[in-house]
Structure 1
Amino acid sequence: MAAGCAPPKLQEFILTEKLGSGSYATVYKAYRKVNNREVVAIKCVSKKSLNKASVENLLTEIEILKTVKHPHIVQLKDFQWDGENIYLIMEYCAGGDLSHFIRSRRALPERVARRFLQQLASALQYLHQRNISHLDLKPQNVLLSSRTCPHLKLADFGFAQHMSPWDEKHVLRGSPLYMAPEMVCQQQYDARVDLWSVGVILYEALFGQPPFASKSFTELESKIRSNKAVETALVVEAVKKDEFGDYSGALSLYCRSLEYFVPALHYELDCRRKTAIRTKVAQYIARAEELKALVAQGNQANFEQAKSARVLLKEMSQDKPQLLAALEMGSAAIAQEEQGDDSAETLQLYQQSLGELLLMLTAEPQGRRRVMLHAEIKNLMSRAEYLKEQLKMRENQKEAASMDQDLFSESVKSSCLLQ
């Protein structure tokens, strides 16, 4: 179907905007002429573009979609054909695809990624219980039901196959960046290849890009086979900020990246990969400690300036006992931190102060006191975030040290057994 052509005509539907297109199909948004103008998506497959393999894929897709019914799998409502095209009338998903959703937000919060993964796992479990493998799982093939409160709908079953758990295939299917190693290395594979793709999708949701971005199959295979630990987008950005002298930003990103790398030490089973990750963790912790000293040194002048402004703000707030009390609470948190008490209790004190001050800021009229209050809130937030990062880094250091001790104990036990 040539680009720029008008949508085809169907007796029961009005086809409008193009939602997407592939090598042999174009998807349109459409309205049913009767039945309350129901909104649907219509996949138009040009008969001219079909070869023997794509005909088989299309027939399998229709057969599978007609037999499955699950809240997280896009519904095939009907299919029709004429002299030029075959039409799959599908459930319309107003939220677009997961790829666009991730790109528009750069990365997804863990709670959102967790919920989406649970929905995707539910759909896959349903399929695998019926001996169906999708074989082309990627964010572009995962649709969102709506823009406001989205839930996932697994779509595009063009490469799907009926596969029992013990079945093995060797035909190359799917998209390289999301293919399991068995496929990339052109080996026999089974239904479990879908699980690898799910892992890649989860990584992309959390970090904004797939873990093995490559320009060729050879490069992709090399990266998958490599023992080198995967660098997250957080680390790449941290290194950039570090090089440009943004030590505070780099420190924050290093601390956030450790939240992912340290748990990986626990779950990684391959000894060489575990060693590589442990080396990375040690490097990031060491650099974070160096940055901590640099940031503290750079903050000192700003903290002194803020101290003078804080005294003045308190004098201006004598007529507002609640505001004064919240400011005193913030000052108490600062005093505790400067005396070396960088504990969770000090962080909680910062957070209580900020909670009250933010409420008072909304009610504060325009004027000099509002400007100074806004500046003090920014200062307290900065200090609270810095303290939170120190607590996280200390926790990561403790966890990494604990894992090293466990590994040492296991090594000693193994040595004893060998003697």
Structure 2
Amino acid sequence: MSSARPVSAPVSRGGSLIPAPRLKDYIFVEKLGSGSYATVYKAFRKKGTREVSAIKCVLKSSLNKASTENLLTEIALLKKLKHDNIVELKDFQWDDTYIYLIMEFCAGGDLSLFLRKKRTLPEYTVRKFLRHIVSAMKFLHDNNVAHMDLKPQNILCTSSQEPVLKIADFGFAKHLYSGDQLHALRGSPLYMAPEIICRGKYDARVDLWSIGVILYECLFGRAPYASKSFRELEDKIWDTTPIELPYGVDMSDHCRDLLLGLLVRDPEKRLPFREFFEHPFLDLEHSPSPGCLEKATSLVKQAVILDGKGEYPAAVKHYCEAVEYFLPAIKFERDSSKKEVLRKRVQEYMDRAAEIKALLKPVRELGSSVRRSDSKNREEEMFDLFAGCDEMQAAIKLTNAAVIEEAKEEYEVALKHYELALGTSIQFLKSEEKGKRKDLLRENVDRWMTRAEGIKSYLSVKKCDDNMEQQTSLEEKEGVMMNQEWCHIQ
């Protein structure tokens, strides 16, 4: 901080010198970037904590009617739009030469710089980044705002290590309501939805196309319409051929589905906003947020109550659902000691789920010679009683196979055979007249049903437990790999 030097030299514009931007409460120390009518500086507050800000200095003399309207729109929107993934407008001031937008400073630069350093990003990093963008977009959509100029240059990173992404530059943004359409050309051609140029009228769905282009570029290192000249770009924009994904790139089905759903030329066939926000690749419900810990705690309380009542399958289900919220809560938590406490809690719930799984594991019916001979005698007797009835004899054979499959711990197949046998047996039981055959059939149906329910409960618990272990393992692996990514970038 001590090495920072004030920016005081006049600015050259059109051959004439213009006074350098100045604000009495700030020291301008570094030029961060510039555009057609604005320059952004890094600046420190002179007093107090010397808070750092990014100050967008707009030269009044460079503004025409359209750019003035854009600037006023940007100020009006940013004053109202307060969200963790939208760059904050802290204040705005003016003097005779400039209008100053005092913004939140993002030390990691923009996403385009990040992509230039890495070229492509692994899918788990892309999902993390996309969740940040989509969280902001859902907030904008709920407030009937369309950004209209989404591109990597307008998405800022809070730091170069584990950055939080924030949407910036609302100069082209508009309040749009259902059915509203625009006609003026706005946005950047490489990220611009085809309908803006090809149809001349468009609506908020252009943001969905732009997000698709950003997603494509993050995964493959270039935008889908990347070109060497504007003429080549124009030809690609007018070409009606659907966008194809590069061959041989490994990606999940959910990611592929989202990307192809966004990059649809016809906005009427493009993935709609509601389906976009609910897409399984994003899984916004389980993205790191302040509410995750509260949801996890509530679910775990219910799990403990069910566990105490002996309602084990329901208890495991709640333990697993709680862990699905605990994992993003751990990611969201910044305090390392609190993170460790949460990790220990997750491990405790996973251990308890594993205990319940072992408790519910079916006891082998062939565990003793007495049980085996007794079961065999009953089924042989019933097989004889249903002589000439091919359907019931086939059902009995299925249960015999299921018993053997249980012994081999082939539970999915055993359950299927029990259920098939029960379907036939229950129908015969309804129509069977009173007597020895009906009594024996009822006894076996009850026994088969108990075995089937036991297996079903075990498989339900096992599935939850396995999914929980898989999820925690994946989260740990992604966490290690992401840390390696940040270190490599540094």
Same fold (TM over 0.5): yes
Gaps of 5+ in 1: 236-253, 272-419
Corresponding residue number in structure 2 for 1:196: 209
- Residue aligned with 2:153, SS: helix
1:188-227 matches, cutoff 5 A? 188-214=201-227, 215-216=229-230, 219-223=233-237, 225-227=239-241
Corresponding residue number in structure 2 for 1:86: 99
* Structure label with greater radius of gyration: 2
1:122-133 matches, cutoff 5 A? 122-133=135-146
In 2, distance between residues paired with 1:150 and 1:61?
24
In 2, distance between residues paired with 1:134 and 1:89?
20
Once the two structures are superposed, what CA deviation does each residue of 1:306-344 show, in whole Å capped at 9, x if it has no partner? xxxxxxxxxxxxxxxxxxxxxxxxxxxxxxxxxxxxxxx
Corresponding residue number in structure 2 for 1:2: 12
Corresponding residue number in structure 2 for 1:306: none
Corresponding residue number in structure 1 for 2:268: none
Corresponding residue number in structure 1 for 2:75: 62
In 2, distance between residues paired with 1:267 and 1:55?
37
After the TM superposition, list the runs of 4 or more consecutive aligned residues in structure 1 that deviate by more than 4 angstroms: 3-7, 257-271
TM-score w.r.t. length of structure 1:
0.55
Task: Note closer, same or farther for the CA distance 1:267–1:36 as it changes in structure 2 (3 Å cut).
Answer: closer
Deviation of residue 217 (structure 1)?
6.0
In 2, distance between residues paired with 1:189 and 1:224?
16
Asked if the contact 1:106/1:208 (under 8 Å) is kept, the reply is yes
In 2, distance between residues paired with 1:139 and 1:87?
23
In 1, distance between residues paired with 2:42 and 2:263?
47
Once the two structures are superposed, what CA deviation does each residue of 1:158-216 show, in whole Å capped at 9, x if it has no partner? 11111113100111001000011111214210111111000000001111110001322
In 2, distance between residues paired with 1:11 and 1:34?
11
In 2, distance between residues paired with 1:22 and 1:48?
14
Corresponding residue number in structure 2 for 1:52: 65
- Residue aligned with 2:130, SS: helix
Corresponding residue number in structure 2 for 1:336: none
Task: Note closer, same or farther for the CA distance 1:102–1:17 as it changes in structure 2 (3 Å cut).
Answer: same
Considering only aligned residues, what root-mean-square deviation do their CA atoms show, in Å? 3.0
- Residue aligned with 1:120, SS: helix
Asked if the contact 2:184/2:200 (under 8 Å) is kept, the reply is no
1:18-417 matches, cutoff 5 A? 18-214=31-227, 215-216=229-230, 219-223=233-237, 225-227=239-241, 229-230=243-244, 232=246, 254=248, 256=249
Deviation of residue 6 (structure 1)?
7.9
Deviation of residue 128 (structure 1)?
1.3
In 2, distance between residues paired with 1:51 and 1:137?
23
In 2, distance between residues paired with 1:32 and 1:53?
32
Partner amino acid for 1:140?
Answer: Q
Asked if the contact 1:177/1:220 (under 8 Å) is kept, the reply is no
Asked if the contact 2:209/2:263 (under 8 Å) is kept, the reply is no
TM-score w.r.t. length of structure 2:
0.48
Q: 1:17 aligns with which of 25, 30, 33?
A: 30
In 1, distance between residues paired with 2:258 and 2:83?
36
Deviation of residue 2 (structure 1)?
2.8
In 2, distance between residues paired with 1:210 and 1:124?
20
- Residue aligned with 1:26, SS: strand
Once the two structures are superposed, what CA deviation does each residue of 1:201-251 show, in whole Å capped at 9, x if it has no partner? 00011111100013226743535534265363xx5xxxxxxxxxxxxxxxx
Task: Note closer, same or farther for the CA distance 1:212–1:260 as it changes in structure 2 (3 Å cut).
Answer: farther
- Residue aligned with 2:69, SS: helix
In 2, distance between residues paired with 1:109 and 1:46?
41
In 1, distance between residues paired with 2:199 and 2:77?
26
Give the percent of matched residue pairs that are identical in Structure 1 and Structure 2. 55
Asked if the contact 2:216/2:259 (under 8 Å) is kept, the reply is no
Partner amino acid for 1:216?
Answer: F
